[in-house]
């Protein structure tokens, strides 16, 4: 992607007006004009995806679901391991993003991947899942608690949930977790809100409450050089039997 097109996308992110009467319309208005350039721009912004995916055990003949899968770019991060997986379901509510995912699946000749234009809070797969992935999608789902509840419902007992996303800390975090300063807790949620992204202090608590954690890490990513950084976390847990 040329620097000019990259700059155009960044300007669109800054100038986005969050138009639409419901969540699905707002998403599509947001992504329709940037789905083509999404992979290139987000590779510099959505950190920690490769690291998280590397930590997920790939069991032969397992069923994976990505909720809020976007363009399906995370499948590239699986490398050859994708062939071990029996079936992957990519779920997203934006037709423009699903269209890019479909083009990718066709060009890669992946026969074990299906796309679903559906809401992550309601999606029901044909069989229960061994692995569910949320990669920078929970912060874009207004009813994120319903999305996690649904993930728990469609995951088999013992199945794995893996999440990477932006967040901010509570004023007084528990468990020795990182405390972000006032500026971060105030500015990060406001700066992202126009793009429908809502970093939240409660996601990590909800995930730890409803799944048996096996991995949790807190990080900070630099988004616009030294000017704007955003905290993100990686979580892996299991649905208890």
Give the residues lining the site for ligand SAM (CB under 6 A).
27, 31, 42, 46, 49, 68-70, 73-74, 91-94, 97, 119-121, 135-137, 140-141
- Whether 182 contacts 9, CB under 8 Å: no
Residue closer to ligand SAM, measured from CB, 70 or 237: 70
Taking the complex as a whole, how short is the minimal distance between the CB of residue 55 and ligand SAM, in angstroms? 15
Residue closer to ligand SAM, measured from CB, 131 or 141: 141
Nearest CA to 163 out of 17, 82, 49 is that of 49
Taking the complex as a whole, how short is the minimal distance between the CB of residue 171 and ligand SAM, in angstroms? 26
Residue closer to ligand SAM, measured from CB, 6 or 42: 42
Taking the complex as a whole, how short is the minimal distance between the CB of residue 181 and ligand SAM, in angstroms? 25
- Whether 87 contacts 59, CB under 8 Å: no
- Whether 19 contacts 193, CB under 8 Å: no
Taking the complex as a whole, how short is the minimal distance between the CB of residue 69 and ligand SAM, in angstroms? 5
Residue closer to ligand SAM, measured from CB, 173 or 229: 229
Beta-carbon contacts of 226 under 8 Å, excluding residues fewer than 6 positions away, are: none
């Amino acid at each position: 992607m040329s620097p000019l097109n990259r700059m155009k996308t960044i300007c669109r992110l800054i100038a986005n007006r969050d138009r639409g009467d419901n969540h699905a319309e707002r998403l599509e208005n947001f992504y329709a004009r940037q789905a083509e350039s999404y992979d290139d721009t987000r590779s510099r912004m959505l950190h920690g995806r490769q690291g998280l995916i590397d930590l997920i055990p790939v069991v032969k003949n397992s069923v994976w679901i990505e909720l809020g899968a976007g363009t399906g770019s995370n499948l590239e991060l699986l490398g050859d391991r994708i062939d071990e997986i029996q079936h992957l379901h990519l779920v997203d509510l934006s037709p423009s993003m699903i269209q890019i995912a479909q083009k990718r699946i066709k060009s890669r000749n992946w026969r074990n991947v299906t796309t679903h234009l559906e809401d992550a809070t309601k999606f029901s797969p044909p069989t229960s899942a061994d692995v569910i992935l949320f990669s920078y999608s929970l912060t874009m789902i207004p009813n994120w608690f319903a999305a996690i509840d649904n993930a728990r419902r469609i995951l088999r007992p013992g199945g794995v949930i893996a999440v990477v996303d932006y967040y901010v800390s509570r004023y007084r975090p528990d468990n020795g977790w990182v405390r972000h300063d006032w500026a971060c807790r105030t500015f990060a949620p406001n700066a992202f809100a126009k793009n429908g992204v809502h970093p939240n202090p409660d996601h990590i608590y909800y995930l730890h409450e409803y799944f048996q954690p096996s991995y949790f890490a807190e990080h900070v990513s630099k988004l616009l050089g030294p000017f704007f950084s955003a905290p993100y976390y990686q979580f892996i847990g299991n649905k208890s039997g």
